[in-house]
Structure 1
Amino acid sequence: MTKILVTGARGQLGTQLLRRGATLGLDVVGLGSGELDITDPDAVAAAVRPGSVVLNCAAYTAVDAAESDEPAATRVNVDGPRTLAEATARVGARLVHVSTDYVFAGDATVPYEPDAPTGPRTVYGRTKLAGERAVLAADPAAVVVRTAWVYTGTGSDFVATMLRLQRERDHVDVVDDQVGSPTFAGDLAAGLLELAGRDAVRGVLHATNSGQASWFDLARAVFAAVGADPERVRPCGTAQFPRPAPRPAYSVLSPAAWATAGLTPLRPWRAALEAALAEVPAVCD
């Protein structure tokens, strides 16, 4: 059985990979940032084994903080992935590196294909794009998987925040001028584990739940799913919530290359949301 190493394993995606890998009976080991510094060549060399698959979920994801701390973002999003890719190429392991819709400008009107022109507008996006390029330069057999709007419904992600706010507030204002594909981390994890078993697949792919929605649409769907009145969610514009890092207005990623590679398409986002909420039943109390 191929050994799978998950880096960044304490985050929402890494946690789902470990859970689903165990359910499938796979040999999956997870290391968080406190257990493996992916920028340390010696530590990485000791962790990466010949013939294994490395699923890299480690990333600097504090989008706003990155605007004033580019060196830290570069270290984790560029130097770390490069170090992993150098190690996998050296010992004959396989690297699957998770990236983001933020590598695009967010000004498209049709879903982005993997080879669409990039144009990140944030430090986070620029460092993630540089990380992609570093990975593919160091290990041409690696796979980069871009995703977007990932959630589990726990912790502090958008869905979890809406679950909390529907209990605490009479009304919630949510932006309706940013569009993407809400993606349940559990579904993405299942897709990545399937990809881990496809040695011939390489290059850049996109993986999100299918369909598209605004944050406003997603918030209303969350309210409705737990029996709260969706009319309590009110639309507003991005300008109402200024942030240090601009958010992409359009983040829909095309699944065509994923399907062409013979991988199972991720289900529609509304069905995925229902499944995610079923895993956190306490929110309905």
Structure 2
Amino acid sequence: MAKLLVTGASGFLGRALVAAASDDDVVTGLTSAVDVRDPDALRAAFARAAPEVVVHTAYVQSGPTAHAVNADGAGNVAAAARAAGARLVHVSTDAIFAGDGDRPLREEEPARPVTAYGATKAAAEPLVMAAHPDALMVRTSLIVGGPDHAPSPHEERAVAAARGELDLAFFTDEIRSPIAVDDLARALLDLAATDARGALHLGGPDAVSRLELARLVVVAAGLDPATLRGRPAPPDRPRFCPLDSSRALALLRVAPPRGVRELYASARGHRTC
């Protein structure tokens, strides 16, 4: 039995982590009711939960609080986890990279974010490691639900565009490593039980464009992929950002993440969003 604390527990990944925990685990989910920008509130919440493992997923995508939540808040969570004597898994992102190379990204690649969100997540990483030197930082990619799962925002936008409810073009040259949320949740909990520290990359095995991902989603939903429009990404977007996940995969004892082509192929024509 382990005492697990998940920040961002009401979010897409946070909910999957809570669901993936063992029946023998004692799980505490922190939502936005506990502000990660408030070190005192965090210390009090950690003292009540007395966690052995902390998985930090809480973030905001944009807005005036993004740096305070994503960067400073991550440092606060790391400090609280260390003070509690807890193992910390911090969830980071491939958005810290510019993606201007031509091969999958390894952990030692320097952070050069081109988006405001990526900049906040890049700023979080040294704060986390300074506050909790034994922390594990798992950089992942676009997170999707897949068939028979509540849809992610990526999937919702694709389906809405295919139905003509949203005027949106999908980037043809932004290449990522999407991963199913349940696969990611299981892998994060498995990696938490290792002694790995520092950065690890964990994405899905398929490197696909935003447009290809959207097409896979709408075909699985029984819709026409020809209704989707593609366009090149603007200069302020990352480009070739598939993750080299070989180090993480070598540590996993659970099944490796599925590729999105496999994930959606099994449900073509049967899923609705």
TM-score for both structures, normalised by structure 2 = 0.87
Among candidates 256, 263, 266, match of residue 272 of structure 1:
263
**Aligned-CA RMSD value:** 2.5
Which of 42, 46, 50 matches 1:44?
42
Report deviation, 1:208: 1.3
How many pairs align?
A: 266
Distance 1:58 1:171, change over 3 A: closer
Are the equivalent residues in 2 in contact too, given 1:171–1:233 (CA < 8 A)? no
1:3-14 matches, within 5 Å, as 3-14=3-14
Residue 75 to residue 176, structure 1, CA distance change in 2 (3 Å): same
User: SS state of the match for residue 238, structure 1?
Assistant: coil
Q: Which residue of 2 aligns with 1:139?
A: 132
Give the superposition deviation at 1:234.
3.4
Q: Which position in structure 2 is the counterpart of 1:26? A: 25
Q: Which moved more, 1:72-81 or 1:132-141?
A: 72-81
The residue matched to 1:5 in structure 2 has which SS?
strand
The one-letter amino acid of 1:232's match is: T
Following superposition, the deviation at residue 263 of structure 1 comes to: 4.8
Inter-partner Cα distance in structure 2 for 1:187 and 1:274: 16
1:111 matched to 2:104? The reply is yes
- Cα separation, 1, equivalents of 2:175 and 2:32: 31
Amino acid at match of 1:179: I
1:203 positional shift? 1.2
What CA deviation, in whole Å up to 9, does each residue of 1:27-60 have, x standing for no partner? 22211112x1122222211222556111000112
Check the 8 A contact 2:136/2:200 in 1, yes or no: yes
Q: 1:203 aligns with which of 198, 205, 209?
A: 198
Task: Give the partner amino acid of 1:57.
Answer: T
1:1-285 matched pairs, under 5 angstroms: 1-21=1-21, 25-34=24-33, 36-48=34-46, 50=50, 52-62=52-62, 65=63, 69=64, 72-152=65-145, 154=150, 157-168=153-164, 173-198=169-194, 200-239=195-234, 246-264=236-254, 265-273=256-264, 281-283=271-273
Aligned CA distance change for structure 1 residues 123 and 168 (closer, same or farther; 3 Å): closer
Deviation at 1:271, TM superposition (A): 2.4
The CA distance in 2 between the partners of 1:18 and 1:136, in whole Å, is 25
Q: Which structure shows the bigger proportion of residues in helix conformation?
A: 1
The 1:125–1:29 alpha-carbon spacing in structure 2 relative to 1, beyond 3 Å, is same
Structure 1 consecutive aligned stretches of length 4 or more whose deviation exceeds 4 Å:
153-156, 169-172
* Aligned partners of 2:170 and 2:230 also within 8 Å: yes
* Percent of pairs with identical residues: 37
Contact 1:101 1:146 in 2 (8 A): yes
**Per the alignment, in what secondary structure is the counterpart of residue 168 of structure 1?**
coil
Q: Give unpaired runs (5+ residues) of structure 2.
A: none
* Structure 2 CA distance for aligned equivalents of residues 179 and 209 of structure 1: 12
Q: CA deviation at 1:281?
A: 4.4
Distance in structure 1 (CA, Å) of the matches to 2:129 and 2:253: 21
Q: CA deviation at 1:253?
A: 0.9
Kept in 2, the 8 Å contact 1:224–1:230? The answer is: yes
